[in-house]
Amino acid sequence: MARTRTRPADPKPIATSSETVPMSATERAEFYKQRRSRSVALALALAAVVILFYVVSLIQGPGILQRPM
């Protein structure tokens, strides 16, 4: 006997483009500020990963390519 799971009701329905309410200037400024801070955080995290991989590859050196066959 298969049990079915019911999905909980969404607290807010997803608005389509025809249902969106225009933002005020202050709301738009806050939205862009939050978006920019997320973008900066992602860029810093990506840069940290790239630097980490670079440092690890420097520590391992070219000796990793000289292994017995």
Amino acid type, 51: I
9: left (phi over 0), alpha (psi -120 to 50) or beta: beta
Considering only residues 1 and 61, tell me which one the structure prediction assigns the higher pLDDT: 61
Q: Is residue 45 part of a domain?
A: yes
CA 45 to chain CA centroid, Å, is: 10
- How many distinct structural domains can be found in the chain? 1
Burial track 21-48 (b if 16+ CB lie within 10 A, e otherwise): eeeeeeeeeeeeeeeeeeeeeeeeeeee
Strands (E), the chain: none
pLDDT at 46: 98
Q: Is residue 66 part of a domain?
A: no
Model pTM score = 0.57
Q: pLDDT tens, 22-66?
A: 889 999 999 999 999 999 999 999 999 999 999 988 888 777 667
Domain that holds residue 36: 26-59
Q: Is residue 65 part of a domain?
A: no
Is the model's pLDDT at 16 over the cut of 70? no
